[in-house]
Amino acid sequence: MRKNTVKATLQAGGTVANGWVGIPSSYSAELIGHAGFDSVTVDLQHGLIGFDQALPMLQALSSTPAIPLVRVPGNDGPEIMHLLDAGAYGVICPMISTPEQAASFVSACRYPPEGDRSFGPARGFLYGGKDYYTHANEEILTIGMIETQEALDNLDAILAVDGLDGVYIGPNDLSLNLGHAPSSEPTAEPVVKAIAHILARTLAHGKIPGIFCSNGVAARARLEQGFRMVTPGNEAGILSAAAAQAVAQIRSESTESSTQTSGY
């Protein structure tokens, strides 16, 4: 089976830059996959993407060096299995707030006897290889999102779930659940403390701490804080910021040019 290089890197103590795509376009997924990210997550929760759009995006990512991941809309076993069969090499699952939810999520990602994943890896064979079934349980990455007060209360029990590789922080939902306005880079003290607590407990359990960030500078700061898997925003935000910057540069140059030739 094709090696999950992202999982191997993380298990070896390395760090991962994770791209994020929410625009339903195989071309944009391919572009992001060639941008240098270690992995790219196709977002079916808040991205404008359904399974029919996700499939060609996963196919496009297969032509790039990036490992294809998905964020599922929720902790739904059949949907998780369907996306794994479509070739996803890892799943980020939102709103994991109890150890039972974490165990159910992991079970959907693992073939028996470690889980209850149904057999039928259609694209799994094509992308992963003919021995997909033999190694899928060890190669598929499982990441649960910690986004609620209930998850904080159950954090150690969630992290103790066998087969859960790590957790990802959704700062916006975590902020909301702690009574503060959504923010990709929270400054409210309870949220800042909660993020630091999640990071410390995840590392103590020997698992992978990840977090969604607003941009590359913020993602770099999170790596320096100790996070191991970071996302510097989604492709829509990156596109919007780059477009706004280009327009600002045009306006600035136009103003400078106008000033320089005003006496001509």
Q: Of these residues, 34, 46, 135, 180, which one is catalytic?
A: 46
pLDDT value at 43 more than 50:
yes
Q: pLDDT for 97-112, tens place per residue?
A: 999 999 999 999 999 9
242 belongs to a structural domain: no
In this predicted structure, what is the pLDDT of residue 264? 29
Q: Identify the pLDDT of residue 245.
A: 95
Q: Is residue 240 part of a domain?
A: no
Average pLDDT over residues 171-176: 97
Alpha-helical runs (H) found in the chain: 5-11, 26-33, 51-61, 77-85, 99-108, 122-128, 132-139, 149-153, 155-159, 171-177, 189-204, 216-225, 235-260
- The alpha carbons of the chain give a radius of gyration, in whole angstroms, of 20
Give the percent of the chain with pLDDT over 90.
94
Tell me, yes or no, whether 243 lies in a domain. no
Residue 258, pLDDT above cutoff 50: no
Domain count, the chain: 1
The CATH number of whichever domain residue 214 belongs to comes to 3.20.20.60
pLDDT band with cut points at 50, 70 and 90 for residue 262: very low
pLDDT tens, position by position, 68-83: 999 999 999 999 999 9
pLDDT of 256 reads: 54
More confident residue, 25 or 184: 25
Does position 31 have pLDDT exceeding 90, yes or no? yes
Q: Is the peptide bond before 186 cis (omega within 30 degrees of 0)?
A: no
91 bridge partner residues: 70, 142
3-class SS string, 29-52: HHHHHCCCCCEEEEECCCCCCCHH
- Are the CB atoms for 148 and 169 separated by under 8 Å? no
Answer yes or no: is 75 within a domain.
yes
46 is an active site residue: yes
Region 139-153 average pLDDT: 98
How far, in Å, CA of 178 to CA of 194, rounded? 9
Is 255 within a domain?
no
Q: What domain range is 144 assigned to?
A: 5-233
In a domain, 256, yes or no: no
104-134 pLDDT, tens digit per residue, is 999 999 999 999 999 999 999 999 999 999 9
Degrees, nearest 5: CA angle 5-60-68? 30
- Is residue 141 a contact partner of residue 89, using CB atoms and an 8 Å limit? yes
In this prediction, residue 259 has a pLDDT band, given cuts at 50, 70 and 90, of very low
Residue 258 lies in a domain: no
Residue 155 included in any domain: yes
